[in-house]
C-alpha cells in the first residue's frame, strides 16, 4: 500500500557530499511546502507536488516537519543487569575502589552478561529498541564488548543480530573486541588476536571491529596491533580521547578507520588533523551529561571542515537512556553545534559512519525511514528538552507510530 504525506516542511538533506562537512553540514535542503510518496518500502517521489495512485493512504502534516529517521551510530544497548546501585553510591561520594570491592562496577555488568542467555540478552535489547523507535530512531548500531571471553562476545553478537530480526528498524552490530580486559593487557590482547578475532571473522565476516583506547582500557600500541590484523577483513572504528589524549587519533587516520568516537579530551592539532582526513568524528554528549560533564568541541571540529556525527552512547554505565532528541539538545548547548548541524549529524552523517547509503536523506529510492515532528520548526528539536517530539514514524515504508 502507498502512503502520501502532504503539506509538510520536508528536510531532505539531499544536496552535497556524504558525509556533510563544514558549512554544508547546516544546509538541510528544505522543501517548505512539500509532499512525499512512499511505495514498496522506499521513497517513490518527493517535491512541492506529488501525484499518488488511487487508494493511497493520505496524511496531512499541517505544516509540520518531515525528516529522515534518526540514526544512532554508537550504542552499547545490549546488556544485562543494572548499574543503578553504583550510580547512587557515586552520588553519595563513595569511591570507585569501594564500589569495585563490593562487586559493582564494569565487571558486575560483565558477570551479568556472561550469566544471561542469548534469548535474555536479545529480549532486553528488543525492549530498548522499542523505546528508541518511539522517539524516532530507526537505525541503531549496537556494540558487543561486555563479555570479555570469546564465548560471551559471540553470544552478545548473536543476541544483537537476533533482536534486530524482530525489530521494524535496522540494527547494525559492531564487534567491540578491545575495550576492558581481564588480567594483564598483553595476555588479553594476545587472546583476542589469536582466538576471539578469528572466531568473530569466521561467523561475522562483514562486521566492523571497534576498540576503546584509554588509560584504563587498551593502549595505543595494543589497539594498533589488533587493527592491523583486523583491517584485512573488517572496517574499523575506535573510541578515543574521552578522558585523556593518548595519540590514537593520528593512528586512526593512518589506518583509515571509519570514525573516532568521544573526542572530549582531543587536542586542537588532533581535531584539525581529523577534520582534514576521511575519518568521521562521533560525539556523545549524553555520556558527558551522565558522567563527568566533559563535552567534545564539535563546533571547532566543524569549523575546520570535519565530518561530525552525533549518537546517544546508550549503555549501562555511559548513558542508560535512548533519546536522540535529548542528544541533539545537548550537542547544541554543550558541543557548539547549531540545531541544523546537529540534525545532519544524526541522520546523513551518522548513516555514513555505518556505511549505509540508503538512508539519512529524503530522496527517491532511499529507504522510507521517516519521522513527522509535532513542530513546524526543526529548531524545536534542540530548543525543547524532555518529552517526545515525534508524532509519526514510518519505518521501512510501514507506519509504526501513527498521529495522536
Asked if 166 and 230 sit in the same domain, the reply is yes
The residues pairing with 393 across neighbouring beta strands, listed in sequence order, are 371, 401
Q: Indicate the helix (H) or strand (E) that contains 190.
A: helix 185-191
Asked if 257 and 382 sit in the same domain, the reply is no
Asked if 115 and 161 sit in the same domain, the reply is yes
Per-residue pLDDT tens for 48-67? 999 999 999 999 999 999 99
The answer, yes or no, to whether residue 219 has pLDDT greater than 90, is yes
The answer, yes or no, to whether residue 383 has pLDDT greater than 80, is yes
pLDDT value, residue 235: 98
Asked if 225 and 364 sit in the same domain, the reply is no
Asked if 22 and 84 sit in the same domain, the reply is no
CA-based nearest residue to 350, from 342, 388, 214, 132? 342
Q: Which domain holds residue 392?
A: 3-68+360-401
Of the listed ranges 73-87, 220-234, 296-310, the least confidently predicted one is 73-87
Number of domains composing the chain = 2
Instruction: Out of 316, 335, 353, pick the residue that ends a domain.
Output: 353
**Do residues 359 and 67 touch, judged by C-beta distance below 8 A?**
no
Per-residue pLDDT tens for 140-167? 999 999 999 999 999 999 999 999 999 9
The residues pairing with 236 across neighbouring beta strands, listed in sequence order, are 209
CA–CA separation, 370 and 85 (whole Å)? 38
pLDDT value, residue 404: 55
Q: What is the DSSP string of 314-379?
A: -BTTTB----HHHHHHHHHHHS---HHHHHHHTTHHHHHHTT--SSSS--TTSB--EEEES-SSTT
Q: What is the CATH number of the domain that holds 49?
A: 2.30.40.10
The answer, yes or no, to whether residue 339 has pLDDT greater than 80, is yes
Asked if 62 and 168 sit in the same domain, the reply is no
**H helix runs in 34-168, sequence order:** 84-91, 96-101, 106-115, 118-134, 150-165
Asked if 88 and 178 sit in the same domain, the reply is yes
pLDDT value, residue 295: 98
pLDDT value, residue 268: 98
CA-based nearest residue to 142, from 252, 128, 346, 361? 128
Q: Which residue has the cell 568516537?
A: 261
Asked if 156 and 301 sit in the same domain, the reply is yes
- How confident is the model over 93-107, as a mean pLDDT? 74
Instruction: Out of 321, 336, 353, pick the residue that ends a domain.
Output: 353
The answer, yes or no, to whether residue 216 has pLDDT greater than 90, is no
The answer, yes or no, to whether residue 403 has pLDDT greater than 70, is no
Cβ neighbours, 10 Å, residue 343: 30
Asked if 250 and 336 sit in the same domain, the reply is yes
The answer, yes or no, to whether residue 204 has pLDDT greater than 80, is yes
Per-residue pLDDT tens for 129-140? 999 999 999 999
Asked if 78 and 178 sit in the same domain, the reply is yes
CA–CA separation, 199 and 157 (whole Å)? 12
Asked if 57 and 17 sit in the same domain, the reply is yes
Per-residue pLDDT tens for 184-201? 999 999 999 999 999 999
Q: What is the CATH number of the domain that holds 205?
A: 3.20.20.140
Residue 374: pLDDT band (50, 70, 90) is very high
The answer, yes or no, to whether residue 20 has pLDDT greater than 90, is yes
pLDDT value, residue 207: 98
Asked if 285 and 325 sit in the same domain, the reply is yes
Amino acid at each position: 500500500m502507498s502512503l502520501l504525506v502532504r503539506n509538510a516542511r520536508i528536510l531532505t538533506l539531499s544536496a552535497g557530499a556524504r558525509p556533510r562537512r563544514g558549512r554544508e553540514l547546516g544546509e538541510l535542503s528544505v522543501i517548505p511546502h512539500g509532499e512525499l510518496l512512499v511505495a514498496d518500502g522506499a521513497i517513490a517521489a518527493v517535491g512541492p507536488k506529488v501525484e499518488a495512485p488511487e487508494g493511497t493512504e493520505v496524511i496531512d502534516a499541517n505544516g509540520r516537519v518531515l525528516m529522515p529517521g534518526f540514526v544512532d551510530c554508537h550504542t552499547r544497548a545490549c546488556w544485562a543487569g543494572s548499574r543503578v546501585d553504583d550510580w547512587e553510591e557515586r552520588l553519595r561520594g563513595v569511591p570507585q575502589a569501594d564500589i569495585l570491592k563490593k562487586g559493582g562496577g564494569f565487571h558486575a555488568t560483565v558477570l551479568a552478561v556472561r550469566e544471561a542467555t542469548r534469548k535474555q540478552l536479545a529480549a532486553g535489547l528488543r525492549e530498548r529498541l522499542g523505546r528508541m523507535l518511539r522517539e524516532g530512531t530507526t537505525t541503531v548500531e549496537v556494540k558487543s564488548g561486555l563479555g570479555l571471553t570469546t564465548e560471551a562476545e559471540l553470544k552478545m553478537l548473536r543476541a544483537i543480530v537476533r533482536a534486530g530480526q524482530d525489530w521494524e528498524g535496522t540494527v547494525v552490530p559492531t564487534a567491540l573486541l578491545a575495550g576492558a580486559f581481564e588480567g594483564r593487557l598483553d595476555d588479553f590482547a594476545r587472546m583476542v588476536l589469536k582466538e576471539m578475532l578469528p572466531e568473530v571473522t569466521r561467523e561475522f565476516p562483514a562486521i566492523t571491529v571497534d576498540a576503546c583506547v584509554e588509560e584504563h582500557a587498551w593502549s595505543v600500541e595494543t589497539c594498533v596491533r589488533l587493527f592491523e590484523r583486523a583491517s584485512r577483513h573488517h572496517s574499523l572504528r575506535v573510541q578515543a580521547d574521552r578522558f585523556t589524549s593518548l595519540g590514537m587519533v593520528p593512528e586512526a587516520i593512518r589506518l583509515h578507520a571509519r570514525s573516532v568516537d568521544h573526542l572530549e579530551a582531543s587536542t586542537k592539532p588532533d581535531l584539525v588533523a581529523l577534520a582534514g582526513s576521511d575519518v568521521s568524528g562521533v560525539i556523545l554528549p549524553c555520556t558527558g551529561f551522565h558522567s563527568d560533564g566533559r563535552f567534545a568541541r564539535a563546533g571547532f571540529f566543524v569549523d575546520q571542515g570535519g565530518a561530525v556525527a552525533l549518537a546517544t552512547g546508550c549503555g549501562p554505565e555511559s548513558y542508560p537512556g535512548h533519546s536522540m532528541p535529548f542528544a541533539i539538545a545537548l550537542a547544541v548547548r554543550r558541543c557548539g553545534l547549531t540545531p541544523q548541524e546537529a540534525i545532519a549529524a544524526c541522520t546523513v552523517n551518522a548513516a555514513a559512519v555505518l556505511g549505509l547509503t540508503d538512508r539519512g536523506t529524503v530522496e527517491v529510492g532511499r529507504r522510507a525511514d521517516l519521522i513527522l515532528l509535532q513542530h513546524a520548526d526543526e529548531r524545536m528539536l534542540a530548543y525543547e528538552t524532555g518529552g517526545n517530539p515525534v508524532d509519526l514514524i514510518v519505518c521501512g515504508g510501514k507506519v509504526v507510530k501513527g498521529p495522536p
